[in-house]
Amino acid sequence: MNEAELRELVPAVIGVLVRRGADFASAEDAVQEALIRALDTWPHDPPREPRAWLVATGWRKFLDAARSEASRRGRELTVEVEPAPGPAPSADDTLRLYFLCAHPVLPATSAVALTLRAVGGLTTRQIAAAHLVPEATMAQRISRAKRGIAGRALDRPGDLGTVLRVLYLVFNEGYGGDLDLAAEAIRLTRQLDALTDEPEVAGLLALMLLHHARRDSRTDAEGRLVPLADQDRTLWDTGLIAEGVAILQTALARDRLGEYQAQAAIAALHADAGTAAATDWTQIVEWYDELLLITDSPVVRLNRAVAVGEADGPHAGLAALAGLSPDLPRRAAAAAYLHERAGDLDRAADLYAQAARAAASVPERDHLTREAARVRHLPRP
C-alpha cells in the first residue's frame, strides 16, 4: 500500500474512534500518531488488514493518552476499552468529517489545514511545508481549529457549500515543498464526489481538472507567469480536459446549475479553443450572465467585463467595468488590458504599473511590471 492509499483510510479511522467514544481532537491526534507509525513500519512489515491495523493502533494511542491525562488529573478513565457499538460505516464518517473540518465557525486558513490533516491524512510537517510556514506555526493553527469545533458532534448535517469552498481554497494554494496541494484537492474532491449525489461537487471536480490541465503552460522556463492567451496549448493535458468536460456534461444534465458548474463551463470553452483567437467569447459572456444570477459577485462582474471586451470590443468592456469599485483586486489590471486594446497606451501603462503595486504575489507583480514597460515602449500613432 502506497502513501496515497494509506491516507485514504484516515478519515474513516477517525470516524471509528469518534463512534467508540473519543472526542474528535483526541481521535485525530491518535490517528496521526498511528499514521506516522504506519509510514515508518509498513514498508518493511505491511499488515494484512491496513484499516483494522490503523483502528487498533489509533485506539491504543487514544487510550494511552486518555489514561495519562486521567492520571495527571487524578480521575478515572471513563472510556471503555472494548466499546459495544463497534465502528460505523466509513463512508458516512468520512462525509461527516468533511463537514466538521470545514465548519463555518472556523477561519478559512484553519479549515484548510484541518481538512488536509483529518480528511487528507497529511502530517503537520507536510502541511507546513506546503504552506511554507514553520511546523510549529501550523501545529498551532491546527490546534486552534480543533478547539474551535470542540464538542461539535458528527451527527448533524453540514454545509456542503462551505466544504466546497474549502476544497477550492486548497486547490488554489497550488503546491509547495514536497506536496502538491492542487493534486491533493483533486484527490479529496474525487472522494467527496463518490460520497455524494450533488452536481455541484462534480462541477467543482470538473473545474479543478480543467484548470489543472493547463498547469504546465502557466509559467515559462524562467518561472514567469504566462497569460492564457500566450500559453503553449500543446502543453495542455488533453486527458484531463476530456475527463473534466465529461464530468461537467453529466453534472449539467442534472439541470441543477450551480456556481462551480458555470465556472467549469467557462473553463471548458477556453480549453476547447485551439487558439486564443478561436475562443467563443460570446458563449463565455452568456455563462458569466448565468453565474451572476447565482452569485452577484464583484469578481464575476470583473471577469465578465473582460469577456465582454473580447466579445464586443474594448470600449464595451470598459463600460461594463465602469461600475466596479476602483479598489477591487485586479480591476486595474483588467482596465489596463482593455485600454491597451482600445489604443490608449499611456493610460494602459499607468494602470499596469498601478496594478503591479497592488499585486498579491511576486510573480504577478513582476508580470504586470513587465507589461507596463512593454506598453510604454510600444510605438504611438
pLDDT score for 178:
59
The reply to whether 52 falls in a domain is yes
pLDDT winner (highest mean) among 94-103, 130-139, 263-272: 263-272
Which long-range CB contacts under 8 A does 355-362 form with residues at least 24 apart?
355/330, 358/329, 358/332, 360/329
d(CA 45, CA 193): 33
- Let me know whether 264 and 139 are in one domain: no
- Let me know whether 25 and 168 are in one domain: yes
| Selection from 52, 54, 20 nearest residue 35 by Cα | 54
pLDDT score for 77:
46
User: Per residue in 50-81, pLDDT tens?
Assistant: 999 999 999 999 998 888 766 656 544 444 44
Q: Residue 263: which domain range?
A: 203-218+235-273
Is the pLDDT reported for residue 237 higher than 60? yes
Average predicted confidence (pLDDT) for the chain: 89
Name the percent of the chain lying above pLDDT 70: 91
Neighbours of 359 (CB within 10 A): 18
- Let me know whether 156 and 240 are in one domain: no
| Selection from 335, 323, 327 nearest residue 372 by Cα | 335
pLDDT score for 177:
53
Is the pLDDT reported for residue 39 higher than 80? yes
- Let me know whether 104 and 211 are in one domain: no
pLDDT score for 92:
52
- Let me know whether 104 and 250 are in one domain: no
| pLDDT tier at 85, thresholds 50, 70, 90 | very low
Neighbours of 373 (CB within 10 A): 13
Is the pLDDT reported for residue 176 higher than 70? no
DSSP E strands, the chain: 175-176, 179-180
The reply to whether 300 falls in a domain is no
User: Per residue in 273-331, pLDDT tens?
Assistant: 999 999 999 999 999 999 999 998 999 999 999 999 999 999 999 999 998 999 999 99
The reply to whether 90 falls in a domain is yes
| Selection from 93, 133, 94 nearest residue 113 by Cα | 133
The reply to whether 329 falls in a domain is no
CA angle 121, 104, 244 (to 5 degrees): 60
The reply to whether 320 falls in a domain is no
- Let me know whether 34 and 172 are in one domain: yes
| pLDDT tier at 86, thresholds 50, 70, 90 | very low
User: For the chain, what is the domain count?
Assistant: 2
pLDDT score for 361:
87
Q: How far is CA 208 from CA 192, 233, 281, 303, 331, in A?
A: 14, 18, 21, 18, 24
Q: How far is CA 363 from CA 127, 229, 232, 329, in A?
A: 22, 17, 19, 16
Cβ neighbours for 260, distance < 8 A, ≥ 6 positions apart: 164, 168, 200, 203, 204, 206, 207
